[in-house]
Structure 1
């Protein structure tokens, strides 16, 4: 996606756009100017002084692409110094029009701070582009009892939640879960009528009745969102199929989310204690196959799952026999307890153990304990590792080694220490306790320098997890930074963290196996790494 060249109208509000005086005169960035501190999305949003500008076009404007992205260099005072078009090579930038430059004049930032000092930063900003209504159409008025607002979300090529929820003016809500939701089926309940009244006013404020009835992008495999406003029998429907890609106002997406919030839809799509209590009141049979499937779906959801709600399901009698999960994780079948440990849900773990998940015929089962211990390590929660470690069976503690088999056609097999099971899940926002687990396992006797069947080492795992503390620990204990891992690469090739990259460089990593390190550093905006490479005449 690139920033568009021609922008007729730009504003930061729903009011009629107008020209903004004194447009910015940013130059395009030189290659070296795109190196520096890279704040995450949350930091960019909190440091920006005001909302990002929104580009608006007259009704009927035809565009090949809607929306654009810029990479900005922001100096130590929070001022934008230069820009680059996202996705394009430096030196081949798309020029900014006068109206774009006028709109961008509103961009200001509080200084970004690193190590207690303001630093130059590389910021990525997305600009929405929207089509204005053809005419203003007044939304009908009706008594609240004659209002119905419906949101339908459909499935996609993946696992997008598929459901329909209707909110009525008197506060009655009807939810119908279809596919890829924790709780399928139909449930009726009530929410405060004043919340529905506010939802109606939001639709009026956002001028939804004036918008097109269909915003369907020419793409495939995405979900649809369908909003239906029924006000006293007069109906306006908006079909959103990736509508933001073709100029649908952001207000539609916001209103879809507001319907979900008023209807408490999330308690069904991601099962909550409130949903469990409502199901219990409706007479749901938790001891059924459907109860077991509900728990499985919730556990597979990962970090978003409600730990207490799932534990309540177990307490209400969901079957927790030895049957392995139908799908497993990473292709390997596993028990409910193993999945709960892998997903780091302590309340579910305790509920399952209380139901005998570590036993066979009433006695502790060493094989189950060993498997649970391995899952706890992979889950990255230290308290759960200790919890399973202290369960005794034929041995006082679980095994510190496991049968390790590599992937690929030519499989290698060996006995490896359980430290090599550590792995930080991609995009998991929860704190990862790999450093504490690794240090504790090493103290129990695990070999920190061992390699897995596929060649990976604990240093590679730490670098890939962007765990600077664990990398530092291993280097301080004498771990060789040049040790080859999977594909023969040193740990430096596994990290996305500049601090770790510098640690490994200064620890003497052999760069002969990393001929593209400078390119990797430039792509990652690693100014300090590039400076190090220049100073050491490397690459």
Structure 2
């Protein structure tokens, strides 16, 4: 993320809604912990114009953070109740203060959990732009000779790629390119009321003042191309990434409006609307084309419409795909994304079959995906499915090894990894169950990662205690992780980790130089007594500060020996 100098003082805020005088309290002062909504979910519920932070013309784009978001507490009706921090590498207090003044006027469509409206902590995205440094005459924009076009092309992670054009008379043309539910050419008509806002945006002076090309040195981002043809004149701008701060906000606003007004998402992402149209056209859902539609509907794993997918299966779409060297099925995505409602229907529709028979490769891949999903019930369900073997494999080839020789087999336990936003992760339960099936708990990946590191990353002390009790070596954690986890979870766990380390190293080892200091600060008398009772376990000598003169090595002395004279690490 770009770093900020004191540029916040040079920018100001434009918002669609006027500021409201009443200040909201800080979310830090509230005692109730609210569930959190991510940026995309927040923006999907927004009922106001997204706020914009404007930077003066000529600002270096490298100094602008194009990924701003403001944390806001929202009640069950969608009304803001508190203002949190600005999600940015720097504090940007001036921008936050200006944004906070407008927050009381914001409104959201109510957020729901399990069918009822709930309060939510949201991350509201904030648009940024560098104002154009020129003024360009805007040509007449008339319905009879104007069209607007949006082209989206992708990223490494299967972003939707398509082109859509809207003419002033309401004609819409769509072409699906890649990673869309329906990759056909489509045409339909929009009412005049939907076209008028697009024509209004096409008249924005900021759009006509835009440069032809905006590119940043980033990777794996979406590119958009926005074009307006009006009265024989054409304005076309390519923007990469789509949120490039130097691009006038008018380009992004027009792109968003084209998507919203045309309803193009019915062809990009599978929905009931997609199925309704295809049914009217007589689409054969039981055909190979129906199976392909099902597979494409999983391209966008964060936008899976479970109801539409289940309806597609009910209409006869097959989930069985051809065999491949790297078995992969849509079930893998459903398991990783914890879409429990899709698991049994997909299995029933042949997702683990090839040519009518259970495919061991697909079964093994789905079992691994269930482990990655972090829920025990699907792991146990996949374990009961037999192919050539009575159960799925408990190992898999190391994906980080290359070459013609057979790759090292790693235990499936190393696939456990907690997504920190997943509050219901069942990694400990899965590991304990896999232990009972004979899986190896002690192995390390080629990068040195083991289950202890996985438990530490998950911040799960019970998981850690179980692994230590099973004899795992805490040295695999590394010194810093060892200390950090000990401090976080108390003296009992610190003692257990020391005992486990000693069991593997009876002749002793060295602890970090500040371990004793940490133990004293934490008030751990038993740990201090343990260290005194085990002289074979040394605490590394702390570094001695070097006088400035001693830091400078003479011409005949190496920097390494100069450092050693001061007791510094070489």
TM-score by length of 1: 0.62
Matched, 1:462 2:455: yes
Paired with 2:258 and 2:291, the residues of 1 have a C-alpha distance of 30
Q: Which has the larger radius of gyration?
A: 2
Q: CA deviation at 1:227?
A: 1.8
Quick check: 1:140 aligned with 2:140?
yes
Q: Deviations over 1:206-263 (max 9, x none)?
A: 5445422524236486654222234566544333244765622234223322221222
Q: 2:298 is paired with a residue of what secondary structure?
A: helix
1:441 corresponds to: 433
Q: Deviations over 1:435-457 (max 9, x none)?
A: 48528837x93579832463755
| Correspondence 1:186 to 2:175 | no
Aligned pairs for 1:151-190 within 5 A = 151-155=150-154, 159-169=158-168, 171-190=170-189
Cα distance change on mapping 1:291 and 1:102 into 2, 3 Å? closer
Q: TM-score, normalised by structure 2?
A: 0.59
CA distances 1:471-521 after superposition (whole Å, capped 9, x unpaired): 233245573599447x933597499xx889712786214698996999xxx
- 1:354 alignment partner in structure 2: 348
Instruction: For 1:138-537, list aligned pairs within 5 A.
Output: 140=140, 142-143=142-143, 147-155=146-154, 159-169=158-168, 171-204=170-203, 207-217=205-215, 219=217, 223-231=222-230, 235-242=234-241, 245=244, 247-284=246-283, 286=285, 289-321=288-320, 323-325=322-324, 328=326, 333-357=327-351, 372-385=366-379, 387-388=381-382, 399=391, 402-406=394-398, 407-408=400-401, 416=411, 420-424=414-418, 433-435=425-427, 437-438=429-430, 441=433, 445-446=436-437, 450-452=441-443, 454=445, 457-464=450-457, 466=458, 468=459, 471-475=460-464, 477=466, 479=468, 483-484=472-473, 488-489=476-477, 493=481, 502-503=488-489, 507-508=493-494, 509=497, 535=522
For 1:243 and 1:320, locate their aligned partners in 2 and report how far apart those are by CA, in whole Å: 34
* Deviation of 1:164 (Å): 0.7
- Unaligned residue ranges in structure 1 (runs of 5+): 16-38, 88-95, 111-122, 519-529
Tell me, in whole angstroms, the C-alpha distance in 2 between the residues paired with 1:494 and 1:182: 47
1:390-413 Cα deviation digits (max 9, x unpaired): 668999xx7486235545479886
Q: Does the 8 Å contact 1:449/1:458 carry over to 2?
A: no
| CA distance 1:267–1:345, change in 2 (3 Å) | farther
Asked whether the equivalents of residues 378 and 423 of structure 1 are also in contact (C-alpha less than 8 Å), the reply is yes
CA pair 474-315 structure 1, distance change in 2 beyond 3 A: same
Higher relative contact order (CA 8 A, sep 6+): 1
Measured after TM superposition, the shift of residue 12 of structure 1 is 1.1
When residues 435 and 217 of structure 1 are mapped into structure 2, their CA distance, relative to the original with a 3 A threshold, is: closer
The SS at the match of 1:299 is coil
Q: Secondary structure at the match of 1:194?
A: helix
CA contact (8 A) 2:413 2:440 kept: no
- TM-fit CA distance, 1:127: 8.8
SS in 2 for 1:65: helix
Shift in Å, 1:166: 1.7
What are the ranges of 5 or more consecutive residues in structure 2 without an aligned counterpart? 17-34, 44-48, 72-81, 104-122, 502-508, 525-538, 543-570
**Would the aligned equivalents of 2:180 and 2:299 in 1 still touch at CA under 8 Å?**
no
C-alpha RMSD of matched pairs (Å): 5.6
* 1:2 equivalent in structure 2: 3
**DSSP-derived class of the 2:98 partner:** coil
Please state how far the C-alpha of 1:140 moved relative to its aligned partner.
3.2
**Measured at CA, do residues 502 and 232 of structure 1 come closer, stay the same or move farther in structure 2, by a change above 3 Å?**
same
Q: Spell out, residue by residue over 1:39-77, the C-alpha distance to the aligned partner (whole angstroms, 9 max, x if none).
A: 99969x99xxx998834324xx37473514999xx9xxx
Once residues 323 and 513 of structure 1 are traced to their aligned partners in structure 2, the CA distance between those partners, rounded to angstroms, is 55
Aligned residues: 452
CA 1:349–1:516: 2 relative to 1, 3 Å:
farther
Alignment match, 2:130: 130
What does the per-residue CA deviation read over 1:345-390, in whole Å, with 9 as the maximum and x for residues that have no partner?
4454333332344568878788876664444333334453454466
Using a 3 Å threshold, how does the CA distance of structure 1 residues 494 and 423 change in structure 2: closer, same or farther?
Answer: farther
